[in-house]
Structure 1
Amino acid sequence: MLSYILKRLLLMIPTLLGVLLITFMVVQFVPGGPVEQYLAEAKAGSGKGSGAESGGLSYRGAQGVDPRRIEQIKALYGFDKPAHERFLQMLGQFARFDLGRSFFQNKSVSELIWEKLPVSISLGLWTFFISYLIAVPLGVAKAVRAGSRFDFVTTLLVLFGYAIPGFVLGVALLVIFGGQLQWFPLRGLTSGNWDELSWGARVVDYLWHIALPVTAMVLGSFAVTTMLTKNAFLEEIRKQYVVTARAKGLDERQVLWKHVFRNALIPIITGFPAAFIGAFFTGSLLIETLFSLDGLGLLSYESVIRRDYPVVLGTLYFFTLIGLVTKLISDLSYVWVDPRVKFD
């Protein structure tokens, strides 16, 4: 087991390097970088007259910006160095767990992640727990009633919810319940006067704001777990030990919950770590942007739009590292749940 863990940890290094290298190469070819945006601001400020100042830049009409000033801007953002030097410098920072500093927000990437993390955790926790609380009992009920009308109708509903993208459902919820009916707020996680409310009113206000985004995320996320639970239970129900338990005269409830349930939940339990962590960092970008929730998803979106490369690459490194560690924990949980599993 120790050698397996060591191999997996070593394999994380080329995986991280590959992800960062590909992203870094793509970034080099994306038009409209921070230097270009800086120059565009100077040109926009020139509408006030020749030689207008914009952000410390002197735009001189048809002559543009002073070339020496352009070189200073490139040096400010680190673009005065060749691409390979910048890449190696970035790897050195990441090796020290220094994620860099934002070009535009005057904060370190670590500080920005720490500020936005509570919103994403809030969405992720609600999505994870509600999804599993619905999916597991529903999957068991479908397995017990396999082939019945209940199984057929719930399968259609589950697949229908899975087929609708979360952001499309979010738009529909916003238009209907936020716009037309005005039952729920259109944006934010709390009201503007949240600090003035009592504790009970704060809880109600928080749940009122989070209802729509969590609904949009949950309806598409529990379908896979539901069908996985159903198939796992069906596979276990047909095995010989279940027939033997029934032949001994055990009650059907005892057979289901004492024997079948423990074995059928192995693939579901081992998926807990990945699902738990993934609920925080995946699938929330569009939802956070749509509902104007200031979390990691919105931070990533705005960073890409503004070409804030340190934030883009720093958050990518952070998410990838967490994803690789979580995948390792998920694989190791197989051994914890079922000691018969060997990685040899």
Structure 2
Amino acid sequence: MWSYIVKRLLLMIPTLLGVLTLTFVVIQFVPGGPVEQMQHELRKGAESGAPFGLRAHTGVDAQQLAQLKQLYGFDKPPLERYVLMLKRFATFDLGHSYFRHQSVWSLIVSKLPVSISIGLWTFFLTYLISVPLGIAKAVRNGSRFDVATSLVVLIGYAIPGFVLGVLLLVLFGGGTFLQLFPLRNLTSDNWAQLSLGAKIVDYLWHITLPITASVVGSFAIVTMLTKNAFLDEIRKQYVLTARAKGLSEKRVLWKHVFRNALLPLIVGFPAAFIGAFFTGSLLIETLFSLDGLGLLSYESVVRRDYPVVLGTLYLFTLIGLATKLISDLCYVWVDPRIQFEQLER
């Protein structure tokens, strides 16, 4: 087991290097970098303060351009900047933002509460509703209940989250009909002065619409996966044998089928749980004015804030690779019959 884990950890290194190298190379050819953006801002500021006749001649001289390149580290060759970046990342130093005057770590930490709120609620609600629903659909396969619930979850899956979010805002967020829920933020402005019970109510009041828009589209995949897994197990020979021995249907379902059928879901738990923290919907965050990691990544790409782009990419890739390893180890934990040699194939 330990040799397999060490081998997987060593394989993470070239994967990380490949992702970072490809992104770094692409950045070199993307126009409108931080130096160009700052030149544009300086030029606009100079033109706004210059007399009308001199505005056409206002610009950034060579000395100012050299200072800007030194400020953002572009006075060094690309290869040297690449090596320096790898050295920083090796010590988990993600650098500092060009425009926000904060370290990348502090930015990520400051955005985590929003992403955690959206992700965890989406994760728990999805599994708490979809797993029992999938089991009920498998037991009642082909019934009216099965057909009706399949239609409902597939309609929810077909509607994009941001479209549902817009509809919810129009209906319940003061758009055209009712104003039952707030439009932005996770809490009210006076949240600090509220009592504990009032804080909980206020938080749930704010999170209702974004979580509804985020979670509805997630039901279909987990529900259908659960249903199909249970149907596959129910049709196997050991289930027929258990029934032939006179075991009750409830005992067959929960003692024999349940453990084997949940194997695909349990193995996917680590990836789904960790992903809940870092894969908040950009469109949901933007639509409901929630300042999370998704919005941070998008704004960093638009503004060419390269330390934030590369730092978050490095961190998320590392977490994704570690989560994949944990998922593979879960196979063995859930079903000891699986060997690590099989996982490598």
What's the TM-score bracket when you normalise by the shorter of the two chains? over 0.9
The reply on whether 1:279 has 2:276 as its aligned counterpart is yes
Q: Secondary structure at the match of 2:179?
A: coil
Opposite residue 41 of structure 1, the aligned amino acid is E
Q: CA deviation at 1:207?
A: 0.3
Alignment map for 1:74-153 (pairs within 5 Å): 74-153=69-148
What is the letter of the counterpart of residue 168 of structure 1? Answer: V
1:300, distance to aligned residue in structure 2 (A): 1.1
Map of 1:329-340 to 2, 5 A cutoff? Answer: 329-340=326-337
Q: Deviations over 1:119-172 (max 9, x none)?
A: 211111111100000110010011111111211121121111112221222222
CA contact under 8 A between 1:270 and 1:333: conserved in structure 2? yes
CA distance in 1, matches of 2:305, 2:170: 32
CA deviation digits over 1:54-103, x for unaligned, max 9? xxxxx975251111111110010011112121111111100110000011
Alpha carbons of structure 1 residues 260 and 194: separation in structure 2 relative to 1, 3 Å: same
Contact kept? 1:139, 1:226, Cα under 8 Å: yes
Contact 2:280 2:293 in 1 (8 A): no
Matched, 1:39 2:39: yes
- Segments of 5+ residues of structure 1 without an aligned counterpart are 53-58
SS in 1 for 2:152: helix
- 1:12 matched to which residue of 2? 12
**1:271 aligns to what SS in structure 2?**
helix
> Any unmatched runs of 5+ in structure 2?
none
C-alpha RMSD of the superposition: 1.6
Residues 50, 61 of structure 1: 8 Å contact kept: no
TM-score (norm 2): 0.94
Identity %: 74
Displacement over 3 Å in runs of 4+: none
Partner of 2:259: 262
The answer as to 2:194 corresponding to 1:197 is: yes
Matched with 2:338 is 341
Using the TM superposition, name which of 283-292 and 216-225 deviates more. Answer: 283-292
Query: Counterpart of 2:216 in structure 1: which amino acid?
Result: L
Could you tell me which residue of structure 1 aligns to residue 61 of structure 2?
66
Q: CA deviation at 1:280?
A: 1.6
Matched positions, count: 338
Tell me the TM-score normalised to structure 1 length: 0.95
Q: Which amino acid aligns with 1:7?
A: K
Distance 1:146 1:314 in 2: 48
